[in-house]
Amino acid sequence: MKILNWQRNGYEVKGIGIHVIPGIGKTTIMSNLNGHDQVAKMFDIVFWLKVSEGKGNNSIKKLRAVIARRLDLTKKTRNPDEVAQSISAVLERMRYLILLDDVKETLELREIEISGSNNDSKIVLATRNRLICSGMKLDKETKLEHLTTDEAWVIFQDVENKDLIQGPKILPTAHKLCEECYGLPLLIAKVAPTFKLKSDPILWEGVLDN
Query: pLDDT of 89-128, one tens digit each?
Result: 888 888 889 898 888 888 876 665 555 556 788 889 888 8
pLDDT score for 76: 67
Q: Report the pLDDT averaged over residues 51-72.
A: 75
Residue 16 burial (CB count, 10 A): 23
pLDDT score for 164: 63
Cβ within 8 Å of residue 207, ≥6 positions away:
177, 195
83, pLDDT greater than 60: yes
Indicate the SS3 state at residue 1. coil
Q: Report the pLDDT averaged over residues 30-40.
A: 83
Give me the amino acid identity at 140.
K
SS (H, E, C) 52-74: HHCCCHHHHHHHHHHHHHHCCCC
Residue scoring higher pLDDT (139 or 3):
139
**158 and 60 within one domain:** no
**82 and 6 within one domain:** yes
Report the run of H or E that residue 96 belongs to, with start and end: strand 96-101
Report how far residue 202's alpha carbon sits from residue 50's, in angstroms, rounded to the nearest whole number.
Answer: 39
- 120: nearest Cα among 35, 202, 14, 3: 14
Q: With pLDDT > 70 as the criterion, what percentage of the chain qualifies?
A: 75
**64 and 161 within one domain:** no
**Mean pLDDT, rounded, of the chain:** 77
Domain count, the chain: 2
**41 and 108 within one domain:** yes
27, pLDDT greater than 70: yes
pLDDT score for 141: 86
Predicted confidence (pLDDT) per residue in 160-170, tens digit? 666 666 777 77
**196 and 160 within one domain:** yes
- pLDDT-derived band of residue 55, with 50, 70 and 90 as boundaries? low
Give me the amino acid identity at 175.
H
CATH of residue 112: 3.40.50.300
Give bridge partners of residue 124 from the DSSP assignment: 16, 99
pLDDT score for 82: 79
Alpha helices in the chain (DSSP H): 2-7, 26-34, 37-42, 57-70, 80-91, 130-135, 149-159, 162-165, 171-179, 185-191, 201-209
Output phi, psi for 98, to 5 deg: -110, 125
Residue finishing a domain among 92, 109, 144? 144
Residue 137: which domain range?
A: 2-144
- pLDDT-derived band of residue 138, with 50, 70 and 90 as boundaries? confident
Q: Report the pLDDT averaged over residues 72-82.
A: 73
